[in-house]
Amino acid sequence: MGRIERHFQDIGYLDTLAGQDTAVHRLDPRAKLVTTLAFIATVVSFGKYEISSLIPFLFYPLYLLAAGNLPAGYVFRKVLLVSPFAVLVGIFNPLLDQEIHIRIGALALSGGWVSFVSILMRFTLTVGAAMTFVAVTGFNTVCMALERLGAPRFFAIQLLFLYRYLFVLVEEATAMVRARSLRVFNGRGMGLPAYGSLMGHLLLRTLDRAQRIHSAMWCRGFDGSVRVMRPLSFGRREFAFVLGWVAFFAVMRFFNLPSYLGSTLSEFMR
């Protein structure tokens, strides 16, 4: 229960962050969405033992973080907090793949460790990018972008409604759980029968609410399609943003910058 509540507070906070007004915030959401998807696709397309060539990709989330004036510590903590599945599955790699992959002096690293680190890198990059993307865009605007990019309108509207009523329903559920916990003694009352009727009540109330919302919509001329006035404009700045970043991803995909820097440096030292 704590987890969901924390998530819920996070949503509110992300919304606040998305309400800022910086150059990246002002960009058309489609540009940011497309770029972020390109970013994630590029990152996951690397081989599983890749570490060093993934590093330059940090530029993108860091750019969003800095240009969007987001709190780095918060984003970093959130990325750490949500990694269980990736870590859980990835942690088997060092056990299962013990062949030596690279040696640095006396230190030998098995392929498993390398690929595990690679998984963690991917995780940080993809989650970090997605989070910073939402934080500089805002959920509602993401929905508009989805719709403009061809997602069914029905689906986009449905997302908007879900998001809107998340806040109301989570509050209702919290109140009900609290009311139950005040009347539970020695764990009695926490069982399935009470649960069934508690959730059942919440469900019925939810259905009634849906009915009332529909009547409120109907009263204001709702005829089956939801209209939103939100001019989006894909201008030169957006083109520059998308092209610039995609070109960067493409170059970094095929050219290992860290490796190049490292060898140049060692050559120079010599």
Partner 1 sequence: MHMADALISPVVGAAAWAATAGAVGHSSRKLREELDGHRIPLMGVLGAFIFAAQMVNFTIPATGSSGHLGGGLILAALLGPQAAFLTLASVLTVQALFFADGGLLALGCNILNLGFFPCFVAYPFIYRKIAGGHMKRWRITTGALAGAVAGLQLGALGVVLETWLSGISELPLRTFLFLMQPIHLAIGLVEGLATAAVVLFVVKARPEILRETEPATGPALSPRALAAVFLGAAIVLGGGVSYFASVRPDGLEWALSRISGPGAPGSTAGEVHDIAGDLQDRTAVLPDYGFREGGRREPAAATDGTPDGSATGAGKAVSGLVGGLLTLLIAGAAGFFLKRRHNAAARGGPAGS
Partner 2 sequence: MSHHIVEARDLHFTYPDGTQVLRGITFRITHGESVAIVGANGAGKSTLLLHLNGYLRPVSGELRVGDSPLTRENLRMVRRAVGLVFQDPDDQLFMPTVFDDVAFGPLNLGLPPEEVTKKVEAALQVVGALHLKDRPPYRLSGGEKRAVAIATVLSMSPDILVMDEPTSNLDPRARRTLIELLKGFQHTKIIATHDLDMVMDLCRRTLVIREGRIIADGPTERIMRDGQLLASSNLEIPLGLRGCPVCGEGTG
Task: Determine the Cα–Cα distance for residues 92 and 141; give it in Å rounded to an integer.
Answer: 39
- Kindly state whether residue 155 participates in binding partner 2, applying the rule CB under 8 A: no
Task: Determine the Cα–Cα distance for residues 266 and 264; give it in Å rounded to an integer.
Answer: 6
Helix (H, G, I), strand (E, B) or coil at 181: helix
In this structure, are residues 132 and 204 in contact, taking their beta carbons and an 8 Å threshold? no
Shorter beta-carbon distance to partner 2: residue 80 or 228: 228
In this structure, are residues 242 and 34 in contact, taking their beta carbons and an 8 Å threshold? yes
Residue of 84, 104, 183, 223 interacting with partner 2 (CB under 8 A):
223
Task: Determine the Cα–Cα distance for residues 260 and 256; give it in Å rounded to an integer.
Answer: 6
Shorter beta-carbon distance to partner 2: residue 129 or 136: 136
Residue of 52, 83, 140, 174 interacting with partner 2 (CB under 8 A):
140
Binding track, positions 50-79, relative to partner 1; x by CB under 8 A: xxx--xx-xx--xx-xxx-x--x-----xx
- Kindly state whether residue 35 participates in binding partner 1, applying the rule CB under 8 A: no
* Binding to partner 1 in span 209-268, by CB under 8 A: 209-211, 213-214, 217-218, 222-224, 226, 254, 256-263, 265-266
Which residue is listed with tokens 């690929």?
115
Count of residues that bind partner 1 according to CB under 8 A? 132
- Angle at 132 (CA atoms; ends 129, 137), nearest 5 degrees: 120
Residue of 74, 76, 140, 206 interacting with partner 1 (CB under 8 A):
206
